[in-house]
Structure 1
Amino acid sequence: MNGASREALAAAREALDALTDNTSVDAAKLAEELAAVTALLDREVSLRRVLTDPAQAGEAKAELAGRLLSGQVGDETAALVSGAVRSRWSRSRDLVDGLEELATIADLTAAQRTGTLDSVEDEVFRFGRIVQSNKDLRTALTDKSANRAAKAELLRSLLGGKATPVTERLVVRLVTAPRGRSLEQGIDSLSKLAAARRERMVAVVTSAVPLTDGQKQRLGAALASMYGRRMHLNLDVDPAVLGGISVRVGDELIDGTVAERLSEATRRMAG
């Protein structure tokens, strides 16, 4: 997002946080309604252009949004959407992206309240790994000609009883409404938002054998010291690395595996 949209999204996130600080607000319901508004504006191109038209006064756009949503969603959701359209957005599509992000954050807040946010982070990561390793499953979930309801049913059969309700909702929304993203991009976005909810960065750690609790604690502390932020570890076991570990934080790779050292030695010999 460009400057104006970034500022608008930051303001919308602050409004959401202020709203959900009140535990009487149903964060899961808020997420569901925000997702419904996202779907509406994603379909209705002319409507979202009207709601983001820079030539129109912000208050007039907010009033229009309020009238459209009255009786369709709760007062909290209507207030958040009205506040969002009152801001200036660089592109009309940025508004939809922003509302989708608010829906995700609201669901993550629901998980945080029930103490399951860590589980959601891990489950989203594991789901990504499963999809990555199963080509048939990925094809079924990304087939543009496939019925959305069928995809949702497939996911519920896979995740039902094995993942938290928040994870199931997030993954079903991602798969049935990808909005131009690849499945991998969507999973990565969910993972980052979940980590940010706890003000932590995500480190994907790959090792030949599972790390002990002590090793995980020491590694987490070391990475937190390096990056100056709390770190959430997504742990993956891959015997192909032979020994040692590799750590990816964002675009940065710290590779200390035996496989990488052997590969480097081979490259040097060949050179």
Structure 2
Amino acid sequence: MINKTIARRYAQAIFAIAQEKNLTEEYARDLKKVIQLIEGNEDLKILFYGRFVPSEAKKEAVSKIIADELDPMVANFIYLLLDKSRENYLTGIAEVFNELVAEKNRIMPAQVRTAIPLTKNQVQSLEKKLSQITGRNIQAEIQVEPSLIGGMSVRIGDTVYDGSIFKQLSLLKEHLQQNSVGKIGVRQ
């Protein structure tokens, strides 16, 4: 497991630089671009994460393949990670960096599970309503799960709003199992 403390330290450092230069979104895109390129190419992945590959060879590969497409500060940051043998933390650093950007922009992700796909207008309406409830800018991540039967379930941080039919049926079943037949008004 990657040590989140180390990833957080590096992410906070590059985030501070990004904020100073007012380039947080650009740096986030660049970090994502680097990760996608590395993860999408098995040879590059082996080279970049290889323990026995010298950091100079890794830096040369990065400079030839993607350094021209990155902000120079992000490229230097990648080189620093390679010099310090911290390349395995890159994904964790990018995740923490994105969390810091979201926090700065008061954006909070919401995991939304629905029984059927939502239209773009429905998603926008849902995000607007959830933003009003939470006081934060909500960015919904939609996942379609037909097993919900109907309705939806929304998770924002540690809070879950579950209005799915599956959940309602589960609650009804639990209620019926806990109470004897006589207690719920049915004659025996």
Per the shorter chain, which TM-score range? 0.5 to 0.7
The one of 104, 113, 119 equivalent to 2:104 is: 113
- Structure 1 residue identity aligned to 2:26: K
The one of 15, 19, 23 equivalent to 2:14 is: 19
Q: 1:261 to 1:160 in 2, by over 3 A?
A: closer
* Mapping 1:79-228, distance limit 5 Å: 79-86=76-83, 87=85, 95=88, 99-114=90-105, 116-117=106-107, 120-121=108-109, 124-125=110-111, 128-129=112-113, 132-134=114-116, 137=117, 158-159=123-124, 162=127, 167=139, 171=141
Whether contact under 8 Å (1:31, 1:104) holds in the other structure is no
Q: 1:43 to 1:166 in 2, by over 3 A?
A: farther
* Mapping 1:71-86, distance limit 5 Å: 71-86=68-83
Residue 56 of structure 1: aligned partner: 53
Q: 1:55 to 1:100 in 2, by over 3 A?
A: closer
Whether contact under 8 Å (1:12, 1:80) holds in the other structure is no
Aligned residues: 159
TM-score of the superposition, structure 2-length normalised?
Answer: 0.59
Point out where structure 1 has 5 or more consecutive residues left out of the alignment: 90-94, 139-153, 176-182, 185-203, 206-231, 243-256, 267-271
SS at match of 1:54: coil
Whether contact under 8 Å (1:35, 1:103) holds in the other structure is yes
Work out the CA distance in 2 between the residues paired with 1:68 and 1:109: 28
The one of 155, 174, 177 equivalent to 1:263 is: 177
Q: Which protein has greater RCO, CA pairs closer than 8 Å, 6+ apart?
A: 2
Q: 1:84 to 1:10 in 2, by over 3 A?
A: farther
Q: Deviations over 1:93-141 (max 9, x none)?
A: xx5xx54444443333223223x23xx23xx23xx22xx321xx29xxx
Whether contact under 8 Å (1:107, 1:166) holds in the other structure is no
Whether contact under 8 Å (2:30, 2:74) holds in the other structure is yes
Structure with greater proportional strand content: 2
Which structure: larger Rg? 2
Point out where structure 2 has 5 or more consecutive residues left out of the alignment: 129-135, 145-154, 181-188
Post-superposition offset of 1:258: 7.5
SS at match of 1:55: coil
CA RMSD across the alignment: 4.3
